[in-house]
Structure formats: C-alpha cells, structure tokens
C-alpha cells in the first residue's frame, strides 16, 4: 500500500507516526500516541493561566505568557486538524500514490520528480530551522549548570527555564522535573508542527506538479501543431497562410486534449480536498501567528540587554515567519501553476480548429481561467499578498501596543 508515496515521502510518515497522526498505523497505538501527545500539550494551559493570574501586575510577563499560550494553541490546532480530517488525509495520501501511476508520460514523470526533489529540499530546510530553534531553546536554560561546573562560584547560579511558567512550588527544589516537563511539551509540539507542516509542503508541491505536467502537455501539443510545416503555405505575396488541420492531426490533438482534461480534473479534485482539509486550520494559524509575531516582537524590545532571552525570542520570531511563509507560499504556487494552464491553452491556434476541437478548447480555457486556491476559512486566499498583509498588521498592532506600554 502507498508504494509510490512511501518511495518519495517516507520521512514524513515517520514524523506523523510518532504523534499518532499517520492514518494507517495500528488503531490502538495511534490512539494511545495521539491521546498522550494531546493531553501533554493540554496540561500546559493551567500553568500558563496561573502565570497570568499571579503576575497580573507585570506587563512583560503578561506578554510572554500570552505568546506562549498562542504557540501552544498552534500545536493543538495542528494536532486536532489531522485527527479530525483523518479520512480526508487518507484520501490525499492515496491520491498522491495513485497519481504516480496515472501520470506516466516521461515528461510528466520528470516534472513530478523535480517537484518531489524540491519539496524534500524545502522539508529539509524547514526541519533544520525547527530543530535548530528547538535545540537552542532547550539547551540555553542549562547554561548556568554548565557554568557552575566549568567556572564555579561561591553560590549556585539562578536556575533558568525555556519558558516562563508558574507551578506555585519552589522551582529550585523541583528544577529537573519541571525542566523535563517543559522540554517534553516543547519537543512534542515541535514534532507535531514539523510533521503536519512538512506534509502540507509535500501535498502543495504535488498539486503544483500535477498542474505543471498538464500545462507542459498542452504546450507540447501547441508546439507540435506550430512546427508542422505541412500546414503552413505561402500565398503569391510571400505571406504565410494558415490551412485547416488535416483529419489525422486534429484527431491526435483532440485525444491529447481529452487526456489533459481528465488529468486537469484530477488535479482540481486534489486541490479541493487539500483545501477542504486545511481551510479551518489555516485561518486559525494565520490569526495565531499574527498574535505571536506581535507579542514576540514587543518582547524583544525589552530584552535587548539580555542576550540569552534575546536569542530565544529572535529564534521564535524567525521560526514564526518561516511557518507563515510555508502556509502562504504553498497557496501562491498552486495559484500560479494552475493559471499557467490557461495561458498555454490560450496560445493554441484555435482558428485552425474544427468546431468540435474548439468546443473542447473552450472547456480547458473555462476550467483554468480561475486559478485554484487554498483559502483560510473560505475567506482569505493563501498567497504572498496575504503574507505581506499579516506582516503589516503585526507591525501595526506592535506599534500600537508599544505606544500603550510607554
């Protein structure tokens, strides 16, 4: 099962297996893993609420607690999305596997392999960013312990944590249990984010490869017609004169267009299912990322003289920006590749076609005139324009909160 899918994207399956999000694993194991991860993340909320309640007079801690709650919410939203849409995700994985058996032309296979390689590179870069940020955030709190060993003082240095949290206990006495709990929450949340986001990158890239393959086939049909010198004659003035296509050539073009139409329909169905499984989640993620960008940017202003905390927030900010571009750029690429089919079909010498062939070309033009889109909640199209809008809004909220704080 899923032989083609696993050949190209097996690493992503492993990430989903660890958090119970792979729909084909043993049901009991999947349920136990998913429940453990979900309850572990959910258990963090009460301690953050305690932080906000006990330090309601400290604006900086309030901002930090709010951004931590937002990040935790992103973890849970992603985790719930794949669980609630398990049937749709199963359909998507099987469709990807099936497409590798349908798009078998040499050109189509080459295009799909190119996009597969590109998606794996993007996944690698995203994994490096997430894992690098995770490593720094987890190791930084251990700096005082290492310094106590290397350069001991008369007294132990204050113990630090990766995030601000309130347990209403002596944190020094329970340092290692608290540290392990916080690290487990961050690691599980990062694996959830990594698994769901990288799978979204792969699905969006695969959709682009389908549109690109259809577009290339239409382009090849057009070039074949244009390169056929038997259909171009010159009149007595030396000007080229178009002649109607011969019956055999028209039949060949007709069959090619029929195949392109069927494959285009497969690509549209795939994007529709991908959008259906992602639209609610993407809207929530856009709103939450907007809040994280605003609050983390505001927090950076107050820790410019604290190198350790500054590094942590800069890494959080960079990772958030990268997560936002993953959501928006994938939608932009799908729009561009799906609309390219329209431009390729438009360049065909339709005036040489018979009525039957013209009607078929009109269907292709009609279907591709409106680009396929991924939408956030069926409201906001995911695109580079949306990315820029979210950045501008976060800067506006940031300056507003900064002025209020001052």
Segment 81-97, tens digit of pLDDT: 888 888 999 999 999 99
* CB 133 within 8 Å of CB 316: yes
Own/partner contacts of 395-404, CB < 8 Å, gap of 24 or more, are 395/297, 397/290, 397/294, 398/293, 398/294, 398/297, 398/298, 401/294, 401/298, 402/298, 402/301
Q: Which range has highest mean pLDDT (115-129, 224-238, 294-308)?
A: 115-129
What torsion do the CA atoms of 292, 278, 46, 143 make, to the nearest 10 degrees? -50
Which residue has better confidence, 81 or 60? Answer: 81
CA distance 195 to 8: 15
| pLDDT exceeds 50 at position 235 | no
Whether residue 236 is predicted with pLDDT greater than 50 in this model: the reply is no
Average pLDDT of the chain to the nearest whole number: 84
Neighbours of 173 (CB within 10 A): 10
pLDDT at position 244 is: 55
Greatest CA separation found in the chain? Answer: 104
Average pLDDT over residues 244-256: 73
Q: What is the pLDDT of residues 329-342, one digit of tens each?
A: 999 999 999 998 88
Kindly tell me if the per-residue pLDDT of 78 is higher than 70. Answer: yes
Q: What is the mean pLDDT of residues 27-56?
A: 90
Q: Name the range with the highest mean pLDDT among 158-172, 212-226, 316-330.
A: 316-330
Q: Where are the alpha helices (DSSP H) in 140-159?
A: 143-150
For 238, the 3-state DSSP assignment is coil
CA distances from 11 to 17, 197, 221, 278 (A): 10, 13, 37, 21
Please indicate whether residue 152 or residue 326 has the higher confidence score (pLDDT). Answer: 326
Q: Is the pLDDT of residue 384 over 90?
A: yes
Q: Which pLDDT score is estimated for 232?
A: 45
DSSP assignment of 379-405 equals TEE-SHHHHHHHHHHHHHHHHHHHHHH
Rounded-to-integer distance, Cα 353 and Cα 350, Å: 5
Cβ contact 270:92 at 8 Å: yes
Statement: residue 303 has pLDDT above 80: no
Of 336, 340, 345, 348, which is closest to residue 365 (Cα–Cα)? 345
Q: Report the pLDDT value the prediction gives residue 406, as an integer from 0 to 100.
A: 58
Q: Tokens 């990040």 sit at which residue?
A: 71
146 confidence band (pLDDT: 50, 70, 90): confident
pLDDT in the model for residue 405: 62
Residues 230-251 have a mean pLDDT of 53
DSSP string, 333-375: HHHHHHHHHHHHHHTS-GGGS-HHHHHHHHHHHHHHHS----E
259 within 8 A of 213, measured Cβ to Cβ = no
CB 307 within 8 A of CB 293: no
Locate 236 and state its tokens: 């007595």
List pLDDT tens digits, range 7-21.
888 888 888 998 889
Return d(Cα 48, Cα 50) in angstroms, integer: 5
Predicted pLDDT at 224: 63
Question: Does residue 240 register a pLDDT over 60?
Answer: no
Find residue 376's DSSP bridge partners.
Answer: 380
Q: What is the DSSP letter of 158?
A: P
When pLDDT is averaged across residues 132-161 and rounded to a whole number, the result is 82
Beta carbons of 241 and 235 less than 8 angstroms apart: yes
> In the predicted model, is pLDDT for residue 68 greater than 50?
yes
Average pLDDT over residues 314-329: 88
Distance (Å, whole) CA 238 – CA 80: 69
pLDDT tier at 315 (50, 70, 90 boundaries)? confident
Three-state DSSP state, 56: coil
- Which of 64 and 198 is assigned the larger pLDDT? 198
pTM: 0.87
Distance CA 406, CA 397 (A): 14
Short-list 293, 322, 306, 317, CA closest to 398: 293
């Amino acid at each position: 099962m899923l032989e083609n899918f696993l050949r190209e994207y097996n690493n992503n399956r492993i990430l989903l297996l660890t958090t119970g999000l792979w729909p084909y694993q043993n049901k009991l194991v999947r349920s136990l893993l998913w429940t453990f991860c979900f309850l572990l993340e959910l258990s963090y909320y009460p301690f953050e609420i305690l932080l906000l309640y006990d330090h309601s007079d400290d604006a900086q801690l309030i901002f930090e607690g709010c951004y931590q709650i937002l990040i935790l919410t992103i973890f849970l939203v992603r985790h719930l999305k794949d669980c609630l849409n398990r049937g749709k995700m199963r359909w998507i994985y099987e469709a990807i596997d099936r497409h590798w058996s349908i798009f078998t032309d040499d050109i189509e296979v080459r295009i799909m392999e190119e996009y597969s390689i590109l998606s794996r590179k993007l996944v690698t870069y995203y994994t490096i960013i997430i894992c690098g940020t995770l490593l720094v955030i987890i190791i930084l709190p251990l700096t005082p312990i290492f310094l106590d060993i290397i350069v001991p003082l008369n007294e132990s240095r204050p113990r630090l944590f990766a995030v601000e949290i309130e347990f209403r206990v002596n944190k020094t006495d329970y340092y290692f249990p608290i540290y392990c709990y916080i690290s487990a929450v961050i690691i599980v949340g990062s694996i959830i984010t990594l698994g769901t986001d990288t799978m979204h990158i792969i699905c969006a890239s695969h959709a682009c490869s389908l549109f690109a393959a259809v577009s290339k086939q239409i382009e090849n049909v057009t070039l074949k017609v244009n390169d056929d010198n038997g259909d171009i004659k010159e009149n007595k003035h030396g000007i080229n004169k178009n002649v109607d296509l011969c019956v055999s050539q028209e039949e060949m073009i007709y069959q090619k267009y029929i195949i392109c139409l069927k494959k285009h329909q497969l690509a549209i169905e795939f994007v529709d299912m991908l959008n259906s499984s992602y639209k609610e989640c993407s809207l929530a993620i856009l709103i939450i990322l907007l809040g994280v960008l605003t609050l983390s940017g505001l927090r950076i202003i107050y820790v410019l003289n604290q190198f350790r905390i500054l590094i942590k927030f800069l890494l959080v900010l960079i990772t958030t920006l990268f997560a936002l571009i993953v959501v928006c750029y994938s939608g932009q690429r799908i729009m561009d590749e799906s609309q390219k089919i329209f431009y390729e079909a438009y360049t065909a010498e339709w005036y040489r076609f018979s009525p039957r062939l013209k009607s078929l070309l009109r269907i292709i033009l009609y279907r591709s005139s409106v680009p396929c889109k991924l939408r956030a909640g069926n409201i906001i199209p995911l695109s580079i324009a949306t990315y820029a809008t979210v950045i501008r809004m976060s800067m506006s909220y940031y300056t507003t909160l900064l002025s209020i704080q001052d």
